[in-house]
Structure formats: C-alpha cells, structure tokens
Amino acid sequence: MSEVSATESGSNTEAGTRLQNFLDRAGLRGFPWKTAIILYTISWGWLFIVRDSYWADDWIFFPKHANHDWTIQGQAPWIPIGENILFEFFGPMGFRVLTFIFFFSAGIFFYGILNSLKKFPTLDSGILALLFLLMPFNTARVAMMVFHYTAGNFLFFLAWYLVVCSNLRWSRFLAALAFFLSFQMHSLLFLYALPLINMWLNSRHSLFNNFRLWLGRNSIFVALPIIYLGLRQIFWPERLFRYHNVSATNLTSTLPFVFVIFILVLIFLSIRKILPVQKKISIEIFIAAVCSFFLATWPYVLLGYFPPSFSILPKYVTTFIGRSDWYSRHLTLQPLAAVLVFAGIMQVFVRYNRRLMATILHSLLVLCVFINMFFGFEYFVDYSKQQKVINSLQAENDLYEVHDVQFVDQSRLLNARGRTYRDRDWMGLIWKSYGSSAITNTIIESSCKTVSGTSRLVLIQGPETHWRALKNWVSDGDMGFKVTVDDTPGACKPVMVKDQQSSGAIPILFYFTGAKG
C-alpha cells in the first residue's frame, strides 16, 4: 500500500509541476483561481437562473419571429452567422454559458497582460484581475442581443494577451485574427490603440527613431482597423439608418470632452517631471487610466449617448449603477480604466499603510459582489413577472377572435434596471403563451384605448419594492405578482394606467423604498 501511495504521490507532484510550468510559460502563475471562481460565480451566477429568458431585441431569435439582417446597421456579417448557429443548437442557455465563460476568460487574459507590463513590475495583478472580473459594469450582458459585445470583448483581450505574451508565429497570426473579429464591437476600434502602444513599448525598438522599423515588422496589426473599416464600407455598410454615424458635427461637439482629457494628461505629465523615479510609476498608471477611459468612452460621446460636457459624470453614474435600461452595455470596456485607477491609487498609498490599503481593496471586492447580486435579483424579479404573465395567459383561452391586447403594467418599478417593456416584449410573451399563430393579427397596446373589435385586458400588479418581492419569495416561494386577464368589453379603464417614476440613480435606495417621485 505504501508503494502505491508513493507512486500516486509522485504522479500528483509531477502533474502539479507540469501545470506550474505551463502557467509560468503562459504568464498566468499566481492567478487567484479559487477566489476568482467563487466570487465571480456568486456575482454572475444569476445568469443561469434566467437561463431561458428573452429580453428586448432577443425576440428576434424566437423561431420565425423575424429575419433580421444585422448588416443593415453596419454590423459584421459573422455576428448573425455565429449567433444563429449558437441559438439553433443550444438556445438561450448557450448564450448564458458562453457569456459567463467569456467574461471570466477575459479576466484571466487581463491578468496575463498585467504580468507582461515591464513598466509596472510592482502591480498586484491578482487583486486587479479580481476587480476587473467583479466590477458591476454591463449587466446588460444577460441579453442575447448584446452577445456581440461579450464576444468582441473576449476576442480583444485574448488577442492582446497572445500578442504580448508570445512571440510564436502562430500566436501572432491568431492574435491578428482575433483582433479583427473583435471589431464587431465598434468601440474596440478606438481602444485598439492601447495594445498597439503596449506592443511598441515592449519591443526593442521603443525609441522614436526606430519607430519605422517597428512599424514595418508590425504593419499587419497597424493596418487591421483600416482593413476592417474598408471592408465594412464596401461589403456591409449601414443601409437602414446611420447607427454609427460620425460626422464633422459629432466630432466638433466632442471637443470640450477631448480638451478636458488632454488637460488632465498634461497635468499628470507635469507632476511626473517633478517626482522622484520611484514615484513616477503611479503617475504613469494614472495617465494610462485616463487614456483608457477616453478611448472606451469617446465613441459613445461621438454618437451622443454621453454628453460632451461636465454633465457626463451624472450620466455615467446613472448608466453604471442606476436605472439605465439596457444602456449599461456601453460600459463593457470600462473595467480596464477603472482597474488602472485603483492600480495607481495602490501605488500611491501602499507605501504608507499597506494593511489599510488591503482592507479597502477587499471591502471594494465585497461591495462589487453585493451590487452584482442586487442587479441579478432585479433580473430574477423581472423574469418572474414574465413567467407569471405567460402562465396567466395560458390559463385562459387562446386569442381566437381577440385582435387587440391591452397590457397595463402597474409594477414597472420592478423592471430590471428600470427597463421599458416595448411592444416586441409583449408580443413575445403572447408568442410563448399561445404560439406564432396567435400574433398574426394581434395589435398590442400598452394603455387603455377604445377599440372597435374585441379586446383583452392583461392587468399586471405586484409588490411595491424589490425588498417586498424578496420577502414574499422567501416566505411563500412567490414574488407576489398578480396578473388579471379579462375579455369583458371596456374592462381596460384609463384610471388603471398609473404614472410610476423612480427618483435617484442609486439602486440600494430603490430596493427598499421604491424611490417614488
């Protein structure tokens, strides 16, 4: 028995050594695997609770719902090919599994990128990778309609990791291909400047007089955005409307934003000149953070989502942790800048009180986990409401002669991230209740209107707050939604349509009070 045990122990040791050698070669040794898996699963595991759900534009994936051509919006042609194949074989669950895996993998790649930065050898890559994974940006990832954001983000960090952590030809080829495919998320065309700068600084030709030599050896990487934009202009230009229109007027309107960023960088450069060598690292990290924020945000300023003025701050905060509908998808690339900010702060304060800095960072990680759980619960509540509507409709007769369905939702305050139910959402719920034939001649109304033919009222009521919904669920196993289906003529009355508004961007207040304005 002892000989067998010794043999098994030797095999385990050898396997462990091989694994460590692989992680060393990959630049991933030291990644906090257990902590990352546990905290990330607690934060984002709610994706599997709503695994078969549909949200907003997700209804285009519903069988035979629509033959939507994404290329008319200038989207890359490989987006619908990949997503339709994924939906056909795995359904909504496939999207949620890949979303979960892709964002976690991006965090691993980010860790490898940090380890490759020769300029910042003192960074605590493990803590920063955890922040990158857990910061509550882009809860809109739950929707299948934004999967191309998820895939683009994954491919971008995979490519960046490959290009700075390996000099093999096959890895450089794969990196170039992954970068090109990642441009399906168009804001990555801007952020792409960072890996190019990283490649230049890591090369042996980082001096300006050797830039032409570096450019010749990396011409394919430099040309990738130009190639993508050229192919897009020829083969898949925007045809329906100018979804990504960038005009001279757009560019001019962003000058105040560009000016503020430029002044901020100049201030940091001036401070850097007067600091001793050992303290310059913090300022360099802050400069990298400002540049990252600018490149990740400027596309959305250009297109008008973020205002090019100081009012960008409240808009940013609302989009980040407020009731921002599906617009948190515009923050997919923000974790990089946020993590660099904290990296700079760590460099400044860790010399003075290392224990205090560790406490602050650990508290921040816990806060991120709780916010992610809160947001996840919002989607769970919203999903429960959808299921209640479907079950209530299925308990009634099919529409048959009913040509007008009037939805009156008195529980809009419980919609996830303050999202709006649009006609396609109501139509999708009818479809899931009765099948495709039920919506052939159906008209959807979100208010009470006088109609000439037969109509059906669907009145949705629910608890006033998320806190009440949670207590109902814990005590009764039900959130407390009530759906009334009434085919009586005139059942829908204008008094039923209540004006519900939420005040304040911070959701924790909203969960307990409803924050009615």
Tokens (6 digits) for 129: 């990778």
Same domain, 251 and 118: yes
**pLDDT at residue number 65:** 47
Q: Please give the DSSP secondary-structure letter assigned to residue 441.
A: S
CA dist 159 and 151 (Å) reads: 12
Cβ distance 299 to 190 under 8 Å? yes
Please report, for residues 22, 412, 413, 421, 513, the alpha-carbon distance to residue 463 in angstroms, rounded to integers and kept in the order given: 53, 10, 9, 18, 11
Cβ distance 202 to 118 under 8 Å? yes
Question: Would you say residue 457 lies in a domain?
Answer: yes
Question: Would you say residue 364 lies in a domain?
Answer: no
**pLDDT at residue number 357:** 81
**pLDDT at residue number 214:** 83
| C-alpha 361, offset from chain centre | 22
What does the CA dihedral 280, 283, 193, 27 come to, rounded to 10 degrees?
60
Same domain, 348 and 384: no
Element (H, E) at 483: strand 482-486
Tokens (6 digits) for 506: 């911070």
**pLDDT at residue number 517:** 42
Same domain, 312 and 387: no
Same domain, 345 and 481: no
Question: Would you say residue 490 lies in a domain?
Answer: yes
The long-range contacts involving 171-178, CB below 8 angstroms and separated by at least 24 positions, are 175/221, 176/220, 176/221, 176/224
Question: Would you say residue 9 lies in a domain?
Answer: no
Question: Would you say residue 169 lies in a domain?
Answer: yes
Same domain, 283 and 388: no
CA-wise closest residue to 460 among 387, 385, 403: 385
Which of the listed residues 334, 352, 370 is the one where a domain comes to its end? 352
Give me the amino acid identity at 219. Answer: S
Same domain, 322 and 390: no
Instruction: Give, for all 517 residues of the chain, the pLDDT tens digit.
Output: 555 555 555 566 666 677 788 778 888 989 999 999 999 999 999 999 999 999 988 987 765 444 556 667 778 889 988 888 998 899 999 999 999 999 999 999 999 999 888 666 667 889 999 999 999 999 999 999 999 999 999 999 999 999 998 888 899 999 999 999 999 999 999 999 999 999 888 876 555 567 778 888 899 999 999 999 999 989 888 876 666 666 677 788 899 999 999 999 999 999 988 888 777 888 989 999 999 999 999 999 998 899 988 889 989 998 998 888 999 999 999 999 999 998 888 877 766 777 888 888 899 999 999 999 999 999 999 999 999 999 999 998 888 778 889 999 999 989 999 899 998 899 999 989 988 788 777 888 888 887 767 889 999 999 988 989 999 999 999 999 999 999 988 889 888 887 766 554 555 566 666 655 4
Same domain, 155 and 299: yes
Question: Would you say residue 6 lies in a domain?
Answer: no
Cβ distance 136 to 44 under 8 Å? no
CA dist 115 and 117 (Å) reads: 6
Sheet holding 455-461, edge to edge: 443-445, 404-409, 455-461, 482-486
**pLDDT at residue number 508:** 59
Question: Would you say residue 7 lies in a domain?
Answer: no
Domain count, the chain: 2
Q: Could you write out the DSSP letters of every residue in 415-432?
A: SGGG----HHHHHHHHHH
Same domain, 274 and 206: yes
Same domain, 337 and 213: yes
For 320-354, the pLDDT digits (tens) are: 988 889 999 999 999 999 999 988 888 777 667 77
**pLDDT at residue number 243:** 63
Same domain, 334 and 399: no
Question: Would you say residue 268 lies in a domain?
Answer: yes
CA dist 271 and 279 (Å) reads: 10
CA-wise closest residue to 368 among 135, 40, 138, 141: 135
Same domain, 403 and 338: no
**pLDDT at residue number 64:** 45
Same domain, 387 and 255: no
**Cα–Cα–Cα angle for 477, 482, 487, nearest 5°?**
145
Query: How many residues belong to the chain?
Result: 517
Q: Is 297 helix (H, G, I), strand (E, B) or coil?
A: helix
Domain that holds residue 307: 22-352
